Homo-oligomer: A and B are copies of this chain.
Amino acid sequence: MNFVVYLAGEIHSNWREEIKDKAKSLNLPITFVGPMEHHDRSDDIGEEILGRQPGKVYKDEAASQINNFRTSVLMNKADVVIALFGEKYKQWNTAMDASAAITLNKPLILIRPENLHHPLKELSNKANVTVETVNQAMKVLAYVLET
């Protein structure tokens, strides 16, 4: 039995590689999917495909429809969603993806540094599991697959 895990959240650090490496070293039967991790590509994809837009808001609208399309297709395939919040950025799309996962009955692990507990308290309460590190999230995944 194979599992698909969607990795939502910031694309400025290499936390996804860390997770993939650990899963590999543990031989977990997991395929990882997630958003476009090349930040500029993600911001520019709308104009890259659809051509020049009349201003920044329209450029963002063009990009976001394609990024949301990618997320929808891949999250529909996912058995589990992991959402990581970092110290920086607004990260509202991470919150959006995490909430969509919960509402679609996709089990969700939330990773956040402890000092973000207050602004994330409602999302943490809705998540199935809240942890503080990528390593803890991996232990939760591994626990599910232990027999």
Contact = CB atoms under 8 A, between A and B. Distances in A.
Given A3-B73, A70-B143, A143-B70, A122 B103 contact: no
Max chain B Cβ within 10 angstroms of own Cβ: one of A92, A95, A131: A92
A76 B77 contact: no
B68 A126 contact: yes
Copy number in this complex?
8
Interface of A: 1, 3-4, 31, 33, 36, 45, 48-50, 54-58, 60-61, 63-74, 76-77, 79-80, 85, 89-93, 95-100, 102-105, 107, 109, 114, 116-126, 128-132, 136, 139-140, 143-144, 146
A140 B69 contact: yes
